Structure 1
């Protein structure tokens, strides 16, 4: 356990225990008690079971989108969970509800919405996107929802849940949407992804936005993965064009449990127009009587929600400002530089080759010693397995249509429908200093 987190949690829990006892002496009921011996045995077994995980916190793990929460974030979460507040109605957690509102206000300001918005935390990015698409359906009940063919599968799935027809928009080789392929009169909302979960691609909001406005189409931004990279939009590390227009979108989703240093689950949905709150209106005979102020359950599809998630996010935003040179910016700078460093290594060597230059901190690469797409797939899987088996590194795999792959790499024989390559998500700032070792470890297993 991180010493700073351990000390902070210990001090905080002691203070909370004194607060609880100030209401009068009490002790937990005997039906809730266990012997020390039994508790020790169960937790020993639990510890052994948990060691079956992959080392997500260590830089040797460069596979999926599993970013460890900051130690002080999970310490704040654990501290709040000793009370277990519920951020539905204000009487379920008055302080944690206020902290959620304050954290949401910071995120809304960060994305350019200023003081006019509606938003709340959710259990995940999936639920946040569900709410955004639900508002899309309610706003344009007879219209379809469009999203690119590289967007997250959750959009197609949520359209099915909502009984709305979803349309996939083709993306050209240069990354632009083929808007001529769809009829704008049929579309109510267009989804633009800033940071795809496959390779971290940033879709062209600057292209889609004027087209959507011309045709009266809403814009929803799925920034579940990439949202916090807005801290770097004025730097020379990323192309900030799309990030500069985020405030023009009708809704935005971001996942603080990805790059926001939060424990699972913590998603967030924001709406530019507060009047969409009318779609959430409902009646409860017992819930909303403790205050005339807005209860978060009145603007959320979810009912019970962990107040601890709001406490942890609020704490994190107090520690790490949403700025380029302070707080989140320096962290994301290291993640971005790690991806660029791995890109340079794969391009300068002879055994590995990058699929294309990363836009954020996710890189796809493959064995350059292969002669065909089927051999690339076979070797990629071998490299993946070898690292897992000897615990030297942990990667992920990514499947690409061969037609897409050979457009960028025509020198390889196309003898399969798809090609599987290696993929690394450099979410941890520690990755910047580790990628050289990772590259060598992979090369040694080719």
Structure 2
């Protein structure tokens, strides 16, 4: 329940049986009516382009009928689509849409502003800035100084983080290279690449480097092969470029980033995971030392708040502590990006009445997200917003800065009127921003509002696990669970892991064939997730004879699970469906 006397999720979602149909129909009609009224009355002196008599001609009516038939065909096709709105669907990170998000998206869709420029989006860009401030405050940034924008999804938002981290590292290193070549001093590569903007400004004031020469010393603005060679000469060792430190549970978008930004996959160094599948901070520290020893500047450190496979929350607070200590003790300013594409909205739970659904460790991690340099959030996941909608957030204007292609290399532009030069995507719709703006204005991103809804989904996962443990002891859960995702394998006491993996995969096929409920399957693999696999095998007394762990995966993000009528009816049915499928699989 949302704690203001309202009905919580029931007031903000369509209902799995279209319970809010009458209200939703009236709001959609109001949106369409207002849109037509706007078009009719905005420029009343303009001539009509489609006459009344023309609309009655045979040719016009034929074209209308052709469109109506094609539309009917499309609607019929989509009735066979996966019913992801239903609580019976717990397969992937997609669920019901909230009504504020749906109304906001649809309204902006009709007006079709392009947030690349205020010339074509004088309202959409304002809505975007206000929605960004809401989300920035949600993750712990100061909304008055934070910056960001909406993207097509988490992959593009992660790319935006890499782009900005590269911008500042490249500026710092280009200046240091120019100074080393000008003065003949040996380049201290690692210190130079992490010097910070204050030191950068001090050196610019002292040496007054020509902007054109700095561009030629930049691996981004100049010739990267030549710049790498020059860096090697200046520091007295071959230079192989920067690295990005990512946890072993990284999303596939980071491999894409390596390709797109020309860093090479070798440049994405994995930091180890602990036995619970989270970033091992001690190993991260070792990898940072390895990078310093190897002369490989660290473009960024990435931590994950809500892993794709199993929903773990990395110890963001301890990563922040480590990087802040390195800055204070050694002067290293290393970019920290939190990939909270899935778990970002869980930041609404801590400090409220429902925070006990999360462990103290997870609460500490989520409350530290605002200490990072940049954050990715996907409203089209736990924000219950239509696809495609991602968000990139930066702590302040300094961290949001990127290259301006026609400006001197010394310039550090901040937020301009138009964002086209500060976003990797050119044209961007206002629909995602409008969806989040209306969500923030109605539900609100507070612990007693949005946090209450998400806490209900975490409880739903807990209720499911308790019911399964009581009825089906051979379903072995991956422990501990940090969020609303439950993962489990089918295994008997003493069974070989390889056998359990085969039976778990067969169980997935059987559940899919049964069709009453939707789950997904994921696989943990060695060496990256070796400790977690070993811990799972040891916890349940399995013979550890395989290099992977096959898991069934239930994503309990559907808001209707918090309804007593849904939970009391469907949890037993869910357990019964799993029992039928286990009987199909056999020993």
Equivalent of residue 225 in structure 1, options 325, 336, 342: 342
Contact 1:69 1:263 in 2 (8 A): yes
Contact 2:148 2:400 in 1 (8 A): no
CA deviations 1:333-386 (Å, max 9, x no partner) are: 111001112222333342312121210011111213472223322322332223
Contact 1:120 1:299 in 2 (8 A): no
Equivalent of residue 323 in structure 2, options 206, 212, 224: 212
Q: Does 1:429 align with 2:559?
A: yes
- Aligned counterpart, 2:270: 168
Q: Does 1:19 align with 2:41?
A: no
Q: Does 1:150 align with 2:249?
A: yes
Equivalent of residue 409 in structure 1, options 537, 546, 565: 537
Deviation at 1:419, TM superposition (A): 2.8
Q: Does 1:441 align with 2:577?
A: yes
SS class of match (2:76): helix
SS class of match (2:32): helix
Q: Does 1:98 align with 2:126?
A: yes
Matches within 5 A, 1:64-103: 64-103=92-131
The 3 A distance-change label for structure 1 pair 201 and 309 is: same
- Name the TM-score, length of structure 2 as normaliser: 0.70
Contact 1:357 1:363 in 2 (8 A): no
- Aligned counterpart, 1:183: 288
The 3 A distance-change label for structure 1 pair 277 and 419 is: closer
Contact 1:76 1:312 in 2 (8 A): yes
Deviates most, 347-356 or 6-15: 347-356
Rounded Cα–Cα distance in structure 1 between residues aligned with 2:400 and 2:273: 33
| Larger relative helix fraction | 2
SS class of match (1:182): helix
The 3 A distance-change label for structure 1 pair 73 and 179 is: closer
Deviation at 1:120, TM superposition (A): 0.8
Rounded Cα–Cα distance in structure 2 between residues aligned with 1:218 and 1:372: 43
Q: Does 1:342 align with 2:459?
A: no
Deviation at 1:255, TM superposition (A): 0.7
Contact 1:223 1:254 in 2 (8 A): yes
Q: Does 1:242 align with 2:365?
A: yes
- Name the TM-score, length of structure 1 as normaliser: 0.91
Rounded Cα–Cα distance in structure 1 between residues aligned with 2:372 and 2:363: 16
SS class of match (1:422): strand
CA deviations 1:50-70 (Å, max 9, x no partner) are: 233211011111101112221
The 3 A distance-change label for structure 1 pair 274 and 27 is: same
Rounded Cα–Cα distance in structure 1 between residues aligned with 2:26 and 2:561: 27
Runs of 4+ in 1 over 4 A off after TM superposition: 27-34
Deviation at 1:34, TM superposition (A): 5.4
CA deviations 1:159-201 (Å, max 9, x no partner) are: 2211232111011225433134413423231101111111110
Q: Does 1:393 align with 2:529?
A: no
Which protein is bigger by CA-based radius of gyration?
2
Unpaired runs of 5+ residues, structure 1, are 285-291
Unpaired runs of 5+ residues, structure 2, are 1-17, 171-240, 327-331, 408-414, 583-587
Matches within 5 A, 1:359-374: 359-369=482-492, 371-374=495-498
CA deviations 1:128-150 (Å, max 9, x no partner) are: 10010111112223532111001
Rounded Cα–Cα distance in structure 2 between residues aligned with 1:49 and 1:155: 35
Contact 2:522 2:553 in 1 (8 A): yes
Deviation at 1:274, TM superposition (A): 0.4
Contact 1:376 1:421 in 2 (8 A): no
Matches within 5 A, 1:255-274: 255-274=378-397
- Aligned counterpart, 2:147: 118
Deviates most, 233-242 or 75-84: 75-84
- Aligned counterpart, 1:380: 504
CA RMSD of aligned residues (A): 2.4
Deviation at 1:41, TM superposition (A): 2.2
Deviates most, 364-373 or 88-97: 364-373
CA deviations 1:308-352 (Å, max 9, x no partner) are: 2222221111111111112x1121011100111222233334231
Equivalent of residue 196 in structure 1, options 307, 319, 323: 307
Deviation at 1:19, TM superposition (A): 1.5
The 3 A distance-change label for structure 1 pair 57 and 28 is: farther
Contact 1:263 1:309 in 2 (8 A): yes
Equivalenced residues, count: 438
SS class of match (1:173): coil
